[in-house]
Amino acid sequence: MIDINQLNEKFKIEGVLTFKKLKNNLICLVVSNQYADATISLYGAQITSFRPKKEVEILWLSPMSYYEEGKAIRGGIPVCFPWFGPHKSDPAKPQHGFGRLMYWELMEVTENTHGETQIRLELTSSEITKAYWPYEFFAEMTFTIGKTLKVTLKVTNTSPIQFDYSCALHTYFNLSAIEDITIEGLKGTRYYKNGEPGEFIQESSKLKIHQVEDRHYYDTSATCFIEDPKFRRKIMVAKSGSKTTTVWNPGAANCHKTSDMPNEAYRRFVCIEAVNSLNDTVCITPGESHETSAVIGLKE
């Protein structure tokens, strides 16, 4: 059991950072600095809110989300690790891996010279993780809360043999309405569309979401932008350490089938994800590390 009083004694920054309990005694870290307000759950190392000062919330979080061990929190930025999507050989293993279903240990909270707040959490291999995945590893999630939000997953191979893994920073972006937004930055990029054979190339400069979308764009490190005229903003979605970008929206029918989403939730978010998967799966030798990062903010 995590002791919230001990966390406050060790990490609290007066007027900037504190802790609070969610449902079922899950604990989150709450940041409010000069740039933004943010909330991070220690369960799943998952940021669920990022709101720059005087702006509308950037991340979407389902009001019906589970806050329950063994189930993922629906929204924010879930961490998919050490596999993305269903397990390749065992469908009984959890979708998107175990990283988002485990408690991560808070290791460090700092403020830099610009007044940004940085939080670092860790997950280390154990007998529990080895029941799902046989390798020894050391994973870190680092969040930098400032004018922009930077999220980094760093994975280090502590096994005596090399291993490969796939991962994603599965970001849900808060929208005024899905039918009014466009996504820029993927023109001319090849993509695979889940459920459809073959390969496609995006020809238009702006992607509009009219139906279920589950696109996996190959060989791209491009920065994307979500233009939302009703919210009068353009969200920047930059990344590094990833050459796959996934764009996902469940559409009306799938949303109705999903127990932790309201029926109309598909209209209020789109996922643009920094991914290592498909032809961009990470392979690291003993002692090596890989970092996957996303940087999110408003274009001025």
If DSSP states are collapsed to H, E and C, what string results for 216-231? EECCCCCCEEEEECCC
d(CA 187, CA 33): 37
Which H or E element spans position 162? none
d(CA 157, CA 283): 9
Q: Of these residues, 170, 203, 213, 227, which one is catalytic?
A: 170
**Number of helices and strands in the chain (H, E):** 3, 23
Chain centroid to CA 234 = 19
Q: Which two tokens stand for residue 298?
A: 């408003």
- CA within 13 Å, CB half, 270: 29
d(CA 111, CA 253): 44
d(CA 145, CA 50): 8
Q: Of these residues, 273, 288, 291, 300, which one is catalytic?
A: 273
Residue 43 DSSP symbol: B
Active site residue 170: yes
Closest among 222, 248, 224, 221 to 234, alpha carbons compared: 224
Q: Where are the alpha helices (DSSP H) in the chain?
A: 4-11, 127-130, 251-257
φ, ψ of residue 232 to 5 degrees: the values are 55, 50
The gap between the terminal CA atoms of the chain, to the nearest Å, is: 43
Q: Check if the beta carbon of residue 80 is closer than 8 Å to that of residue 168.
A: yes
Which residues are known catalytic residues? 170, 273
